[in-house]
Amino acid sequence: MSRVRRQLMDEARQREEQAQAASRGSGATPGAATPAGMGGDAAAEIAAEEGTEAAMVGRRRRAPRWLRNPSFVIGAVIVLVACVAAAFPQLFTGYDPNAIDVTAKFLPPSAQHWFGTDKYGFDIYARVVYATRLDLLIGVGSVALPFVVGSLLGLVAGYYGGKFDTVVMRILDIFMAFPFMVLAIAITAVLGKGIFNLLIAMWVVSWPPYTRLVRSEVLIAKNSEYVQAAKTLGYSDARIMFRHILPNVISSSVVYAASDIVMCIMTAATLSFLGLGVPVGTAEWGSIISDGKSFIQTYWWISTMPGLVMLVVGLGFSLLVDGLNDLLRTKR
């Protein structure tokens, strides 16, 4: 997943450099012309190649393209299971995640308590299942607003340029100069504990990549033929940006947003582990792991089991992002 994120940002920088070079007067490289006349043998050879390609395409159409992408399928299954557990946790466990049982403290994993119990007698499996809802909501909620705001800023800045673009990019550079985790810890330390404060911290630190990705795409797209044709027809700037440019430049941000969900989940869990995230006692993966850190050598399952669940969910999102990136790149 980190490979995909780096690749997207590297491509954004390359597009920015390409747009800057074009603005300095470098002309576009003309496409290669197709020869007007060809001999019969050459034409026959090309026809044979086209027939072979058509046959291969026909065979591939037996299954949708996304089904032939193992990373996408496996990741989608894992994420789907996590979403079902978040929406209907009672289907996965019959225990109350907040039910204290002093007679069942520190029980190891067994057929009755799959993940064991903690110092309060809480069933850890039940708490992990019910925590899935909160963690996924934090992940999606942390990405939704930065995705929308960052994409709009990148769209407007890239299309109009000028002073607005300069100001946006200088602010973006300031935010991206600080490590993501360090800035999130600093903001939550100032705001204090709480789910809403955690979301605010995520919103503040998560928008710059979307702005850079969309802006770099818009810098290239606004000089394309279909945009120039739309301007010639007298379309408004809003129509050109939102109906013609945005649908063609948003795919990179969608891939990045999918990877950002698991990044925000891990960040929220880290902040909760440090005591800066959700309130104490809340069923959340990082908080559950933090509850067992004092007993890691004796009652290892308290921290290990939720950690393994985080690992599997993170792996699912990573595979989904890799597969989604491959599918969207093939389309483009």
- Does 190 fall in a domain? yes
Start-to-end C-alpha separation, the chain: 20
pTM, 2 dp: 0.79
Report pLDDT for 134. Answer: 94
Residue 26 DSSP label: P
Residue 99 lies in a domain: yes
Helices (H) and strands (E) in the chain, counts: 14, 0
In a domain? residue 67: no
Q: Two tokens at 256?
A: 């990045």
* Average of per-residue pLDDT across 288-304: 91
Radius of gyration of the chain (CA): 25
34, pLDDT greater than 70:
no
Q: pLDDT tens digit string along 226-271? A: 999 999 999 999 999 999 999 989 988 998 998 899 899 999 999 9
Indicate whether 169 belongs to any domain: yes
Hey, is 117 helix, strand or coil? strand
Centroid of chain to Cα 43: 46
- Across the chain, what does the average pLDDT equal? 84
- Please indicate, yes or no, if residue 104 is contained in any of the structural domains: yes
pLDDT interval class at 11 (50, 70, 90):
confident
d(CA 277, CA 275): 6
Q: Which pLDDT belongs to residue 242? A: 93
Residue 25 backbone phi and psi in degrees, to 5: 115, 5
Residue 17 confidence (pLDDT) above 80: no
- Residue 107: give the domain boundaries: 2-11+84-331
More confident residue, 48 or 88: 88
Predicted confidence at residue 214, as pLDDT, reads: 94
More confident position, 4 or 138: 138
One-letter amino acid at 249 equals V
The token pair at 148 is: 């929308």
For residue 332, the model assigns a pLDDT of 55
> Running DSSP on this structure, what letter comes out for residue 111?
S
DSSP structural state of residue 123: B
CA distances from 241 to 58, 105, 118, 158, 254 (A): 37, 60, 54, 10, 17
For the chain, the domain total comes to: 1
Per-residue pLDDT of 162-193, as tens digits, reads: 999 999 999 999 998 888 889 999 999 999 88
301, pLDDT greater than 80: yes
Q: How many CB atoms lie within 10 A of CB 274?
A: 13
**Where is average pLDDT lowest: 12-16, 22-26, 141-145, 300-304?**
22-26
Q: CATH number of the domain that 187 lies in?
A: 1.10.3720.10
pLDDT above 90 (res 12): no
Assigned domain for 37 exists = no
What is residue 131's predicted lDDT score, i.e. its pLDDT?
Answer: 94
Asked, for residue 26, whether it belongs to a domain, the answer is: no
pLDDT category of residue 31 using cuts at 50, 70 and 90: very low
Question: Which of 238, 290, 248 is closest to 268 using CA atoms?
Answer: 290
d(CA 211, CA 4): 17
Among 7-11, 55-59, 143-147, which stretch is predicted with the lowest mean pLDDT? 55-59
CA distance 290 to 8: 34
Whether 42 shows a pLDDT value over 70: the answer reads: no
pLDDT of 1: 57
Task: Provide the pLDDT for residue 210.
Answer: 95
Question: Does the pLDDT at position 41 exceed 60?
Answer: no
